[in-house]
Structures are given as structure tokens and as C-alpha cells.
């Protein structure tokens, strides 16, 4: 992406920036000169990303902090204790999320369901509730949620993960309605298969099984979604991208993928 002055010095808060789409989104916003507030549970990964960005973009301001978005008190205190110069978030990218398991509902692990719902739904809500009032006061802001094709279509054994992403879709639409009388914008970016650590997490660290998800197709890469997110953020102020579904060329629906 090219330099876009619209993002210069804007504060972009990205959850789940330690891997995959969140990490790539941080790097893409960095190219545009945005100031980056990056959080996730794995602080060492964020420190490494911060060091990379410092090499690529000397002088760019980046602040990293450890946060588990499932912990409502931690969300509140992490945002409350941000240094003053970082408090005025312009763009919130609610990206932190995961799937756990690919089982029939009757066989599913309740801990898996709780982790997905607590992260993908409640974590996104905690972040949004904490950040949006300040955006309203300042009269500017953009909330970009990372949904999924799984929020539009239910696929076999997707049950609770799909439920969590249908919830993201409903919450995004609800927020857009609630903010219609403000200058704030609300977007959801909804990818199909993206080759990240997502499947490794879904299969509890079974890397061989994770690889089969992307076998025989040229899957989307995290950078493809990062570019889409930054594109949404750089439309003129009167343009609100409501939702975008992004597929690899060989994917046509949640469970329709052509493999070579
Ligand atoms: P990755 O597993 O590569 O990255 C997930 C990120 O979420 C990590 O940085 C992880 O950081 C963070 N995260 C997970 N749980 C928490 C938590 N409790 N608190 C804070 N951060 C957390 O997967 P992706 O990049 O693919 O996933 C990013 C988003 O994209 C998710 O919302 C996912 O549902 C969505 N998505 C992914 C698709 C895909 O095919 N890959 C397709 C459609 C949507 P850490 O572990 O350090 O906390
Ligand atoms: C991730 C896409 O189809 O693997 O949200 O669930 S899918």
C-alpha cells in the first residue's frame, strides 16, 4: 500500500496483534505512518513485532501491552492506564479471536465453546464498550471488526465458532445503528480461509492437521486481509464500508473450496 496521509499519526489499536491478520495489519498501518497500540496475551511476540517495525520505520510510535480480552477488568485497567498521549484511539481493530475444535455439537468440548464465546464475542464487546464513548466525545473514530464467512454461513461442525461470528455480525450491525447520528464508522471485514495460525489453534497445536486446511489451494494470506482493513480505514470520512467478504479465488462459499 502507498503512503496515505489520512492515517499519518492516527492512533490505531489492534487486538490480537501477535500473530496472523493482527500482526500483518499492524505492519500495513505502519507503512501508512499510523501510531500503533498493539495488544495480545503473548507480550514477547509483540516486543519482537515492535522491534521489527522500529527497523522498518524508524521513529514510528508503537506502544505494546499484554492483554487478554476475555478479562473485562484487565481491559478496563489496560485502557485506563495507557499513557496520556495514547488515550485518543482513532481506529479500533477488534481482531483477537480464535476457533477451538471442529466437532459435532453433541461431542464438543464446553471449554472450547467458552473460550470462543469469551474471546470472539465478549472480548470484542468489552473493547468496544471501553473505546467507543471516547470516540463519540471526540467526534471521530472507526471500529473495524474482524468477522468471518463463518458469520454468514454455518458449515458442518462449525456450530459454536459460526455462532460467535454470527454474533459479531449482529453486534457490528447493532453498533452501526446506534452510532448513526455520530461521525463514527463501523465496518466488518469477513474473510474466508486465511493461512495463519488459526487452524493450529483450532486443532489444539496439531500442525499436520492444520496444514491440510490449506492444502491444494492458494489460500489468502494475512497481508491480503490487512490491505483490505487499511483500505476500509482510508476511505473519505463520508464513506462507511459496512462489510466486506474476502475469499481466495478457489473458495466460493464457507465449505466450497476447489483443491488442485
Ligand atoms: P491467529 O491465530 O494467527 O491470530 C489470532 C490472534 O488473536 C493472536 O494474535 C492471538 O494472540 C489473539 N488472541 C486470541 N485470543 C486472545 C485473547 N483472549 N486476548 C487477546 N488476544 C487474543 O489467527 P488469525 O490471524 O487468522 O485470526 C484473527 C481473526 O481473524 C480472528 O478473529 C479470526 O476468527 C478471524 N478470521 C480468521 C480466518 C482464517 O481463516 N484465518 C478467517 C476469518 C476470520 P495471543 O495468543 O498472543 O493472545
Ligand atoms: C475462519 C474461516 O471458514 O475456517 O473464520 O471458519 S473458517
Name which residue sits closest to atom 5 of ligand 2, judged by CA.
148
Where residue 186 falls among pLDDT bands split at 50, 70, 90? very high
CA 213 to ligand 2 center in whole angstroms = 10
Mean pLDDT for 92-103 is 98
pLDDT, position 1: 55
CA 100 to ligand 2 center in whole angstroms = 11
pLDDT digit string, tens, across residues 109-167: 999 999 999 999 999 999 999 999 999 999 999 999 999 999 999 999 999 999 999 99
pLDDT digit string, tens, across residues 214-230: 999 999 999 999 999 99
Give strand pairing partners of 14: 38, 93
Where residue 5 falls among pLDDT bands split at 50, 70, 90? confident
Average of per-residue pLDDT values in the chain: 97
Domain boundaries, given as residue ranges, for the chain: 5-257
Ligand 2 atom index nearest CA of 162: 6
CA atoms of 6 and 17, how far apart (whole Å): 22
Indicate if 161 belongs to the active site. Answer: yes
In this structure, what C-alpha cell is assigned to residue 34?
499510523
CA atoms of 16 and 93, how far apart (whole Å): 9
Is pLDDT of 2 > 90? no
Give the fold, CATH level 3, of 5-257: Rossmann fold (3.40.50)
% of the chain at pLDDT higher than 70: 98
Residue 123: how many CA atoms within 13 Å on its side-chain side? 29
pLDDT, position 4: 64
Indicate if 155 belongs to the active site. Answer: no
pLDDT, position 249: 98
Q: What is the 3-state secondary structure (H, E, C) of the chain?
A: CCCCHHHCCCEEEEECCCCHHHHHHHHHHHHCCCEEEEEECCHHHHHHHHHHHHHHCCCCCEEEEECCCCCHHHHHHHHHCCCHHHCCCCEEEECCCCCCCCCCHHHCCHHHHHHHHHHHHHHHHHHHHHHHHHHHHHCCCEEEEECCHHHCCCCCCCHHHHHHHHHHHHHHHHHHHHCCCCCCEEEEEEECCEECCHHHHHCCCCHHHHHHHCCCCCCEEHHHHHHHHHHHHCCCCCCCCCEEEECCCCEEECCEECCC
For the beta carbon of residue 236, count every other beta carbon within 10 angstroms: 6
Is pLDDT of 3 > 80? no
For the beta carbon of residue 234, count every other beta carbon within 10 angstroms: 16
pLDDT, position 44: 98
Contact 160, 111 (CB under 8 A): no
Amino acid at each position: 500500500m502507498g503512503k496515505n496521509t489520512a492515517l499519518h499519526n492516527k492512533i490505531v489499536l489492534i487486538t490480537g496483534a501477535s500473530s496472523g491478520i493482527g500482526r500483518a495489519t499492524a505492519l500495513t498501518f505502519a507503512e501508512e505512518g499510523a501510531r500503533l497500540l498493539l495488544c495480545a496475551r503473548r507480550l514477547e511476540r509483540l516486543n519482537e513485532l515492535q522491534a521489527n517495525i522500529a527497523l522498518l520505520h524508524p521513529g514510528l510510535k508503537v506502544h505494546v501491552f499484554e492483554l487478554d480480552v476475555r478479562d473485562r477488568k484487565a481491559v478496563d485497567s489496560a485502557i485506563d492506564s495507557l499513557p496520556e498521549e495514547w488515550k485518543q484511539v482513532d481506529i479500533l481493530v477488534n481482531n483477537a479471536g480464535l476457533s477451538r475444535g471442529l466437532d459435532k455439537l453433541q461431542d464438543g468440548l464446553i471449554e472450547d465453546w467458552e473460550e470462543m464465546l469469551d474471546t470472539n464475542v465478549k472480548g470484542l464487546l468489552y473493547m468496544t464498550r471501553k473505546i467507543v464513548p471516547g470516540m463519540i466525545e471526540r467526534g471521530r473514530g472507526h471500529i473495524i471488526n474482524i468477522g468471518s464467512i463463518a458469520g454468514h454461513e454455518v458449515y458442518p461442525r462449525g456450530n459454536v465458532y459460526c455462532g460467535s461470528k454470527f454474533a459479531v455480525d449482529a453486534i457490528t450491525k447493532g453498533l452501526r445503528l446506534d452510532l448513526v447520528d455520530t461521525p463514527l464508522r463501523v465496518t466488518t471485514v469477513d474473510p474466508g480461509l486465511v493461512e495463519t495460525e488459526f487452524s493450529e489453534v483450532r486443532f489444539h497445536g496439531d500442525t499436520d492437521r492444520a496444514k491440510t486446511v490449506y492444502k491444494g489451494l492458494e489460500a489468502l494470506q494475512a497481508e491480503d486481509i490487512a490491505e483490505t482493513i487499511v483500505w476500509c480505514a482510508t476511505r473519505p470520512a463520508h464513506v462507511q464500508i459496512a462489510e466486506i467478504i474476502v475469499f481466495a479465488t478457489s473458495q466460493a462459499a464457507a465449505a466450497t473450496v476447489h483443491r488442485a
